[in-house]
Amino acid sequence: MQSSSQNKGFRWVLLMLFVSLFQTLSFAGLLFKNNKLDLELLYIFLAYMAGQWVYLLLNRLITRRRDFQLEIIAFFLSGISLVVCASFNNNFALKQLLAIGLGLLAHVLVLLMSMSTDVAMFFRIPLALASIGLLAANLLIAETTHGTLNWIEIGGFSVQPSELVKIAFVFVGAVTLEKIQSTRSLTKYLLYAVTCVGALFLMRDFGTALIFFFTFVIIAFMRSGDVRTIFFATTGAALGGGMVLYFKPYVVRRFATYRRIWENMDTGGYQQTRVLIYMASGGLFGLGLGEGKLRNVYAASTDLVFGLLCEEFGLLLGLAVLVAYGLIALYALLAARQASSTFYSIAAVCAAALLLFQVSLNVFGITDLLPLTGVTLPFVSRGGTSMISSWGLLALIRARGLFQAPKVKGRGL
């Protein structure tokens, strides 16, 4: 009996060893350039490997948990992101390593803010005000980049506030609807949601605005179960979207090539046609890291990164990445069923739904199944605030089990 429980305790160790082996093999081909060991890249790789193991072991000692499947999936995806960044240049890799470290810090902070509904309620108003302040600052000081007001330059680093606001958007919605059980609670959150989405429209960040609206619909339906509320919210959003298209005709031009990319291969459909061509050329096992042609196309390591993975790593790894997102969603559903309060149920399901919807917009957008909205692929795309946001949202899925160690006899890890 003790031996069986010990084996169960070692499962996460074996899974993490498998992920570490994959990461080592992925990095190995990048460490030698011109027959010389790249020491800077080696240090980056060793720091990442050590960081993920130290985090898991400390977590095991402090919380007595053994169920690290969610974190291991995130480390698997983040490791792929680091490898892709390193294949471009060491500067990208170093910045991405820093972003993963900040993401882990955000993960821990969100877990601590979610340790109980009372603690979460304490942080609700400050987070709501801070998120609105971030979006307001974005509107005031950001400069237009590629047609949007997404980015703020701080000390040589580009920050995208809307990515950080995603965490607050789910957190505030879940805790608000947990404590005040009336229509008034939904109205308050509706005003907050309209403010956030309205700011995103003013920034012309329509992909993120769509993600926020989808998340609001999930939150509202989970708490109220009222189909009429969802209908009116959706109708209002459709009318607002129609007004934007009518008064801002340049927005329509962004979607002019949707489902007609092959007719515009060298203009509006350039990115998507190259993604489809180069993905197919990668086959099941890929052309090899750094050998693909898609990396020469704009946004290859950000918006188009899924296509790059399929071309250089192969379709099998692309499917593995999609399965990983599916496992995160499955974990969220199981966590919601076992949650001790509505806050944890709403937070887990909505955080997972946000991530999954964003994955769908990214993957289906670059393959022309949906209009191209320019959103990132969670955990995988290059970008600091995107990585921090992904780890923070993961904490809302994990929050229910932070201090609930499984009862397992024996002394295994």
Distance CA 312, CA 188 (A): 47
Q: Is the pLDDT reported for residue 283 higher than 90?
A: yes
pLDDT-based confidence at residue 363 (cuts at 50, 70, 90): very high
Percent of the chain topping pLDDT 90: 55
Which of 26, 158, 30 has the alpha carbon at shortest distance from 99? 158
Mean pLDDT, the chain, rounded, equals: 85
Question: Which pLDDT score is estimated for 228?
Answer: 59
Q: Rounded to an integer, what distance in angstroms lies between the CA atom of residue 413 and that of residue 7?
A: 9
Average pLDDT, integer, range 97-113? 96
% of residues, the chain, pLDDT over 70: 83
pTM: 0.91
Rounded Cα distance between 179 and 172, Å, is 11
Give the model's pLDDT for residue 153. Answer: 79
Binning pLDDT at 50, 70 and 90, where does residue 410 land?
very low
Average pLDDT over residues 100-104: 97
pLDDT tens-place string over residues 179-231:
655 556 667 788 888 889 888 888 888 888 888 888 888 887 776 666 656 66
Task: Write down the pLDDT at residue 338.
Answer: 86
Exposed e or buried b for every residue in 265-289, given b needs 16+ CB within 10 A? eeebbebbbbbbebbeebeeebbeb
